[in-house]
Amino acid sequence: PPGQRTFRAASLAQYVRMRSAPARLIATSTSIMARSRSRHPRSAAGLCILYYLGQYEHISAKKGLRYLESHEDEGGFVFYARYYAAQAMFQAGGEHWKTYFSQLRKELLSEQQTGGFWLGDAGGAECGTAMACIILSIPYRYLPILER
């Protein structure tokens, strides 16, 4: 409708490629941001955005995927990182997904407490449990964003 703002996918893709984790943090490994505990989670989230925008073959997406495969979470925002990394690997598909999810599933199941919950890093057990359940449900494609 006239006067209503439209979603600018191309502008968003350019912004993500130029300023977010896959494009910038990988290239600036000596910066303060690169040493930050949020490098892995933001790289995973940035890669997801590029994939959602159909930028599978862009150099930033390829760098982001290589980074996630070669670096484990550095210790901050663990469930956030796992959530977005799992989504990114699911979108990448094939061996990327198989290898990543197989290991992540084992880790998550081993971390489940005897009471059935997971301990969360920032949001407590409620958040940890919710995130673990969402991550473990990714291969079932319950969320519309995970449909192919």
Interval 34-53: pLDDT, tens: 445 567 888 888 899 889 88
- Amino acid 48 reads C
Helix (H), strand (E) at residue 102: helix 94-111
pLDDT number for residue 4: 53
Retrieve residue 95's tokens: 């061996």
Retrieve residue 6's tokens: 């439209």
> Can you tell me the distance from the alpha carbon of 22 to that of 84, in angstroms, rounded to the nearest whole number?
13
- pLDDT (tens digit, 9 = 90+) per residue, 112-148? 988 888 888 777 888 888 899 999 999 988 777 656 5
Chain centre distance of CA 32? 21
Confidence of residue 21 (pLDDT cuts 50, 70, 90): very low
Crossing angle for the helix pair 59-70 and 78-92, to the nearest 10 degrees: 130
Question: In angstroms, what CA-CA distances link 114 with 109, 117, 119, 129?
Answer: 11, 7, 11, 13
Whole-structure pTM value: 0.74
